[in-house]
A and B are shown apart, each in its own frame.
Chain A
Amino acid sequence: MTKETQRQSEAGVPVAFVRREDAPLLPPPPSQAGLVGWLYKNIFASMSDFGSIGAAVKSVLMAGLTVILLYFLATQFYGLLDFALFSAVWSDPDGVKREACWTVEQGGALPAGWHAACWPYIAAKAKFIFYGAYPEDQLWRVNFAYVVGAVMLVWVMIERLPYRKPVGLLLLTAYPVLATVLLTGGGFGLSATTVGIYTILGLAAITFGRLGKLGRITGPLADLAQIAGVAGWVLIFLAAILVLVGVDFNLPAVDTRDWGGLLITLVVAITGIVASLPLGIVLALGRRSEMPVARFLSTVFIEFWRGVPLITVLFMASVMLPLFMPEGVNFDMLLRALIGVTLFSAAYMAEVVRGGLQAIDKGQYEGADAVGLSYWQSMRLVILPQALTHVIPGIVNTFIGLFKDTALVSIVGIFDLLGAAQSTLADPAWSTPVQGITGYLVVGMLFFIFCFGMSRYSMYMERKLSRGHKR
């Protein structure tokens, strides 16, 4: 019996038509596919409902607003391009400086009503905006430090490259020392005795730690041996730093007062970033600690720094810090600002890290305890790796905030990127009505590139990490 006859008999009536093959696939309706569909979905869907009076009014309003916004965006975008590229003055062949960017009314050659970027001004001030008053013939040191830092950073960020961990470790330890020596010129004087004492103490401590590990030391001293092992390496590291900054490499010294522009911005931001993370982790652990004194102190410290604006911190660092120090000890201005910025961002970092610590399942803590790990072991091996990966986006956001906040050091008289650009505006040789906007455009673009880049990287990390949590 065929299928048709079966159906016929079941229903009792003859079936007139039965499809024997699949119906042809229809193309999607034009309102759903292609350019039209895309336009409909993304633009016209919100303004095509005329079902009732209210909906019609809303549709018309939406259409009007869309047109206005589109017009606004287009004119602004074109205005920016026109300002920065099409109408801009690109060169100053006659060396007339400000007159190259003057209109007829102001005594120049440009048509009346001209309003666009004056690039020769930026070209003339570029060295100051990027390096401040750093000696011209020593700029290679800054550039070399940039290149080394950038190569190491890219190396750490590209996941396919080998040795990422050691490179990252070098970036956080050796690189700051190298950069300090390069930028300041090093040669702070070397006391062989101090280095010798540090080295001997360090070696002794490491030996002690080793013995502890081998089980030669038992009883109450075993714990001490463990700490000594770590402390020994710190001492050796300190000795190495002392040697490096102490040796005279025959580089002329450059006072930090001569640093400026982008250099200062990067120095403040990177120091803040590198120093605030460990400090923030310690503070976060302190705030979650079971020891009341440690918890209280961490909480007070964090809430204090988070409760006041960075400007007041910088004022405090520049005005009050010298009063706190013993007579004769005099920090230079940059170091004071660095201390202020670091303490300030450490408090914010601590709160981010605390968020990560709180997000870790209690079972992880209990598991670590059950395996018999000590507090520091369980933090180092179990809790912190998970907590920190969890809050990478938050950490990067803090970095972005810190990077933007470096602009504030210009208020206490350090010429960072913004401060340097602002100070060039006072130069009468380039005084034109477009000078300010041109300068701000360049500084704004530079800040935007750095901050936007960091935020994209954090979003990429977030996506990459969240994949692991999906079920």
Chain B
Amino acid sequence: MAGKTRTVTTFFNDSQYRGILFQILLAVGLVLFGKWLMDNTLQNLANQGKSLGFDFLTSTAGFQIIPTLGTWLFDYEVGVSTYLDVYFIGIVNTFVVAILGIVAATVLGFTIGIMRLSDNLVFRGFATIYIELLRNIPLLLQLFFWYFAVLRAMPGKRDRIELIDGVIGLNITGLYLPAPMADADFIYSVFAVLVALGITLAVRRYAIKRQADTGQALPMFWIGLGIMTILPMIVFYASGSPLEWSLPEFKDTGPKLRQGYQDGAGMLLVPEMLSVWLALSLYTAAFIAEIVRAGILAVNRGQTEASYALGLRPNITLRLVIIPQAMRVIIPPLTSQYLNLTKNSSLAVAIAYPELVSVFAGTALNQVGKEIEMIFMMMMVYLTFSLLTAAFMNWFNSRVKLVER
């Protein structure tokens, strides 16, 4: 009797056993909860006369999508393209605006972040106002502002604002840019760029070796710039300038209905996309600016002083001492800002830019009604991208981590 009590006591007092017991309970509870959810869902679906399955992906979609890179790439046509095409169009449009946004936000963010550290009060003040204003106002409001208050207020269809006469113009239907029209021969110029890149890298290797051996540095920037511009230019002209620009065409004469910008000439960026791009990059730039500032401030002042003491000039110090160390601090949060930007591109649903959420989980979902499958497919895209970024971050962190003693 006494022996038995002792065993039970020992069992309960041993944190290891208690842990195992708790975990088993947790797992069982979770499985039961999952089963309950599953049963409910199947029951509800059965009541609504629906079933699970991905057959809908092959049926054709019957709604218009505004012209964007995605619709152009997949040749979208109402009644011909399938829901799978719609899915891919959504993904392409999401990533187009995300990549454009990332580029713009990085450039602007680094500029503002460095301005924030300037000795010049005007620069510093501008950067501070920019950062505080933009990051304390919801992105959705900024998106509405750019779309409804700015771009929807542009001149009407038969009118325009010319940013560069005859080349770039803007009205309520969007921004018109020249479109590059490449011949088949243009491929040689592309090859030439690749070859030039290879040569530059080879020369750079030689330059580094030479500097290590003799202490003599080559003006690598100018050499690289020369190779990278001259070689492709020679090839471009030798192959007969195989690239033409299609300029946007504007008519203000003729029948009233035909006036305005003409289809098929130039490149059109629709206002939906422009406002998403503007809002995302301006908003994210404010966060990137703060990250850059923190990164530069994180480099100990002694580093600059030591570098000067060694006789390095200020711009070399910046390039070889400060920036590499600041980047170590900057890159992890920077990546997570890129991730945020990509996820925030889903806000475009509010102004009907045809990205993934809007076109697939919005319009298509309303037509097909496959809530579970479609939301699952949509979430998988974002989740995959997030996990890939996280994997990259782990790899990067392990590469640049300070070796601690």
Contact = CB atoms under 8 A, between A and B. Distances in A.
Given A308-B343, A311-B346, A324 B41 contact: yes
Contacts of A311: 346-347, 349, 357
Nearest to B380: A308
A411 interface: yes
A443 interface: yes
B357 A447 contact: no
Contacts of A440: 141, 144-145, 148-149
A388 to B, nearest CB: 22
Given A42-B120, A66-B123, A307 B148 contact: no
B401 to A, nearest CB: 15
A62 B347 CA distance: 38
A459 to B, nearest CB: 11
Interface stretch (B57-65, B128-136, B176-184): B128-136
Contacts of B37: 324
A312 B138 contact: no
A70 interface: yes
B40 A69 contact: no
Nearest to A322: B44
A408 B347 contact: yes
Interface in A147-204: none
Interface stretch (B21-29, B81-89, B202-210): B21-29
Contact of A291 (B22, B40, B43, B379): B22
Contacts of B365: 319
Given A46-B118, A319-B365, A411-B350, A308 B44 contact: no
Interface string A209-229: 000000000011001000000
B19 A323 contact: no
| Interface size band for A | 35 or more
Contacts of B8: 220
Given A45-B119, A323-B41, 14 more contacts: A43-B120, A290-B19, A291-B19, A293-B27, A303-B387, A309-B346, A309-B382, A316-B375, A325-B44, A406-B138, A407-B138, A408-B347, A411-B347, A436-B148
A411 B141 CA distance: 12
Contact of A219 (B5, B30, B121, B347): B5
Contact of B122 (A69, A309, A327): A69
Interface stretch (A7-15, A25-33, A256-264, A448-456): A448-456
Contacts of B11: 220
A41 interface: yes
Contacts of A307: 382-383, 386-387
A322 B37 CA distance: 11
Interface residues of B, number: 62
Interface of B: 5, 8-9, 11-13, 15, 19, 22-23, 26-27, 30, 37, 40-41, 43-45, 47, 118-123, 125-126, 129, 132-133, 135-141, 144-145, 148-149, 153, 343-344, 346-347, 349-350, 357, 361, 365, 371-372, 375, 378-379, 382-383, 386-387, 390
A308 B30 contact: no
A367 interface: no
Interface in A317-344: 319-320, 322-327
A312 B357 contact: yes
B137 A447 contact: yes
A42 B383 contact: no
Interface string A277-310: 0000000000000111110010000011011111
* Residues of B contacting A: mostly: helix
Contacts of B122: 43, 66, 69-70, 73
Most chain A CB within 10 A, of B43, B44, B120, B390, is at: B120
Most chain A CB within 10 A, of B47, B118, B375, B387, is at: B375
* Residues of A contacting B: mostly: helix
Nearest to B152: A436
Instruction: Give the top 4 A-B pairs by smallest Cβ distance, nearest first.
Output: A307-B386, A451-B136, A42-B121, A309-B343
A422 interface: yes
A405 B347 CA distance: 11
Most chain B CB within 10 A, of A66, A323, A418, is at: A323
Contact of A448 (B136, B343, B378): B136
Contacts of A357: none
Contact of A422 (B5, B133, B144): B144
Given A311-B347, A408-B347, A42 B119 contact: yes
Contact of A418 (B9, B23, B126, B144): B144
A306 B22 contact: no
Contacts of B126: 69, 72-73
A281 to B, nearest CB: 17
